[in-house]
Amino acid sequence: MDILKPYLLFLGDVPDDLAAKTAHGIVDWRREWCVGQLRLPGCKADCGLPDLTLEEAKARGARTMIVGVVNAGGRLPSHWVGRIVDAIEQGFDVATGLHRRLASIPEIAEAARRRGARLHDVRFSDIEFETGKGVKRPGLRLLTVGTDCSVGKKYTALALEAEMRARGLNAEFRATGQTGVFISGRGVAIDAVVADFIAGAAEWLSPANDPDHWDVVEGQGSLFHPSFAGVTLGLLHGAQPDAFVVCHEPTRARMRGVRHPLPTIQDIIDRTVIEGQLTNPAIRCVGIALNTEALGDDAARALIAETGERHALPCCDPIRTGVGPLVDEIERRFPRGGPA
């Protein structure tokens, strides 16, 4: 799926910015793709973009209206439907990450058919993936992995892409979740793929490439998460990473949504190497990314230093300190021209 750019971000009338998390993610990483936001009366979210009507957005060149919000229950409220139909009538494509397909709503399906608009439901995949082949592909790959869900795997991957590109490396973010798909304009929500095709979808997402090209693949879940480890393992096998970065939130006590305690960073390093060797025997850890948002600056910096020392690996907080040390390690371990 290739989502046409630039975007108009539809924020509906959601009660807070948390509900507009996806829209905020897009603006954080791809401000240049966003011509503006469309808010309904009562909307309490604000992405800091110009408020535009459909006509104004169209005049500024917007091609796709992104429904970058979720309401309670993940459903599409009926008073949003009319506005989506209006957008289609104006010539927009529409994209959402909701749990219901846009085309399952008759008015939207009918309008899209009439106008030839493309509807992108990024939580669903209409691609017919093959099963994974496990054959090593040319090109370099990095995967972000985590001690848990929601510990900064997407953010770290995007920060790595930005820093690698700033240094002239040929790096490309590969999205595996809905927000990531909007941010990169392509990708696949890997947790929505049929189980037989997890590894195959990851292979599709990150095809053979130039020997010095880096795919920076957004990780999902955790090998130690009892709900989602299957997704994590299939993604690891399909992505065939040469390098991985462990993401961790140091103040969290239990894994999200379950009673299990968090694994340690070392647990994740060891298990990722053991499992990843199946499709890439040369897999290695190149660093640790801590999400220290919950800590004061002194405590955070001390923890970053101590964690790096304990594992003998570069460690950073992508937001607080940047990912420079991780990219230093990548450049050291994989000098241009091939792995060291």
Per CB under 8 A, residues contacting a copy of itself are: 131-135, 190-196, 198-200, 224, 226-235, 237, 257-260, 274-275, 278-279
Cβ 26 to a copy of itself, closest distance in Å? 22
Minimum CB distance to a copy of itself smaller for 53 or for 131? 131
Where is 184: in which H helix or E strand?
helix 178-184
Q: Give SS3 for 288.
A: strand
Cβ 323 to a copy of itself, closest distance in Å? 28
Cβ 276 to a copy of itself, closest distance in Å? 11
Count of other CB atoms within 10 angstroms of residue 165: 15
Cβ 242 to a copy of itself, closest distance in Å? 16
Please name which of 145, 143, 166, 147 lies closest in space to residue 328, comparing C-alpha atoms.
166
Look at the block and give the residue holding tokens 């002194």: 298
Minimum CB distance to a copy of itself smaller for 166 or for 194? 194
Cβ 234 to a copy of itself, closest distance in Å? 3
Please name which of 246, 297, 238 lies closest in space to residue 268, comparing C-alpha atoms.
246
Cβ 265 to a copy of itself, closest distance in Å? 17
Minimum CB distance to a copy of itself smaller for 80 or for 224? 224
Minimum CB distance to a copy of itself smaller for 274 or for 302? 274
Let me know: does 287 contact 315? Beta carbons within 8 Å. yes
Q: Hey, what are 106's tokens? A: 């008759």
Q: How far apart are the first and last CA of the chain?
A: 36
Q: What is the distance between the alpha carbons of residues 6 and 26, in angstroms, rounded to a whole number?
A: 11
Burial class (CB in 10 A: 0-12, 13-18, 19+), 128: exposed
Give the CA count within 13 Å in the CB-facing half-sphere of 10. 26
Please name which of 180, 135, 139 lies closest in space to residue 157, comparing C-alpha atoms.
180
Minimum CB distance to a copy of itself smaller for 124 or for 182? 124
Q: What is the distance between the alpha carbons of residues 214 and 336, in angstroms, rounded to a whole number?
A: 11
Cβ 322 to a copy of itself, closest distance in Å? 32
Minimum CB distance to a copy of itself smaller for 10 or for 224? 224
Minimum CB distance to a copy of itself smaller for 90 or for 227? 227
Please name which of 143, 135, 132 lies closest in space to residue 175, comparing C-alpha atoms.
143
